[in-house]
Amino acid sequence: MNKIGMQTQCVIQKENIEDGYRMIKEAGFDCVDFNFDDYLSVNDVYAGKINDIFDRPMEEIWADFKPHADAAAEYGLTFGQTHAPFPVMVKGRDDISEKMLRITVNTMELSHRMGSRYIVVHPVTLAYECSKQEEHAFNIEMYKRIIPAAKKFDQIICLENMFWESNYHLTEGICSDFAEAAAMIDELNGLAGEERFGFCFDVGHANVLGKNMYQSVVTMGGRLKILHIHDNDGISDLHTLPYTFMRSWSGLATDWDGFLRGLKDIHYEGVFSFETFRSMAGFPSELHPSVLRLTADMGRYFAKRMEA
């Protein structure tokens, strides 16, 4: 049966990490998606306000993150995947890009030390800045620069389907065309000379762009290694629990059945990992154990559907 996982954002509190891991375990999860991006925000990166938490000697960095590894081990949890800060490169800002490339390599080593083989490294959408061909070339060059670290630390770098927000509208970002995403992963693995790239299918991002869940999953096929599972209303990227939104005239806002059929048809064996931090943030802390138990129940339901 597939394992189930939960992201650390809005669950693990930096001032009391042990309670967070205990709560995740008691809810019934098997593993954790560690959010390195929780320590360095995307807005700060674009603003050039990049802290040094990931840009120090490795043993100093590890001293800050080893307690997470120890707490997870204490409660029998593993790290099924991790998430690097983003963006890794900013077009026209070599100072930011060089620093973020160092940070990405360091988070890959942290991911390895924590026992994860999969790390999400977001592709960069350059909407309205250049052509699709230039955007593709920019991302290929970015990923080429971290292939040596992926090999050194035995990491599978996972691209993710993205959206772009402009004038309060969400439009397609890079890797939201799944045929193009599949071709990019194949190209990168060819450059690496081995399988060093895979895909993180983000359910909420696909839903908000009106993608066909079944066809999207099947198009990615065996390239699909990990998941970001969350729900939305088809309008905004909300990161809530599955089955949260209904449309009175047509049922659920997200095609969960198509999603699960797709995973079954590609024989997905990875973790059902939830990225539902806004549901956690919305409920009072006293209810967080209950919210986590419900989320874990959904994960087990998905896993059973896969076996049916």
For residues 205 and 269, what is the distance between their CA atoms, to the nearest angstrom?
A: 21
3-state SS, residue 135: helix
Listed by start position, the domains of the chain span 4-307
State residue 81's pLDDT score.
Answer: 98
CA dihedral 44, 50, 54, 57 (to 10 degrees): 180
CATH code of the domain made up of 4-307:
3.20.20.150
Number of helices followed by number of strands (H, E) in the chain? 12, 12
For residues 116 and 154, what is the distance between their CA atoms, to the nearest angstrom?
A: 9
State residue 129's pLDDT score.
Answer: 85
Structure tokens, 88: 């890794």
With 0-12 / 13-18 / 19 or more C-beta atoms within 10 angstroms meaning exposed / middle / buried, residue 167 is exposed
pTM: 0.97
Q: What is the mean pLDDT of each run of 10 residues along the chain (308 residues)?
A: 97 94 98 98 97 98 98 98 98 97 98 98 92 97 98 98 89 97 98 98 98 98 98 96 86 96 98 97 96 98 93
